[in-house]
Structure 1
Amino acid sequence: MSEIFVMYELDQPGAARSINGASLIEGRPVRCVHAAPAAPGSTTTPGPRTLCGKDTFAMQPSPGSRPTDSDSSWCTAEYAQLVCAQCDAVMEG
């Protein structure tokens, strides 16, 4: 699989957190964590859609990309409970 970006779908400022203790990104709680392939012809820019088909325009990319260690999860443990089930199924498949 090509370069994968971890993308944070953020709640509106002041929204209730999905999970107690979830980190804030740009002052907003993370609602869901998605995976997105790189934009065509790029290894540094996420593509326009996540693996589940959502638009990445309003999402915040995580620093770094998918771990190369096959025993590692593509998402950090901090956000494991917020992972999009559809993106996860594609990543695990």
Structure 2
Amino acid sequence: MQMSETEMMLRGYGLTTAEIFYRMPDYQHVLNTFIWQEYDLAPDHPRLFRFIEFWQDKIEGPLHSVRFTHRREIAPGEWRNCAGELTLH
């Protein structure tokens, strides 16, 4: 069963964006880039590392380098549970 994006964010997932530099299979001196974005858990980043392993096993373009950033969309100071509402006047 797949979780919704909101459920994932509430469970601690954040948006991970990776910029992957790889060499063209026929032209090894040419670098190309690929952008990958997925909700993932920091600091282990299991989905990112699974994708990198997939790339190394299935795609012919050898990796040169990977740069990534991670940002939690909902942090503890930005969200709180509100059980009721009080109106004055």
Which band: TM-score by shorter chain?
Answer: 0.3 to 0.5
Between structure 1 and structure 2, the one with the greater Rg is 2
**TM-score, with normalisation over the residues of structure 1?**
0.31
Structure having the larger proportion of residues in strand: 2
Report the TM-score, using the length of structure 2 for normalisation: 0.32
Greater helix fraction, Structure 1 or Structure 2: 2
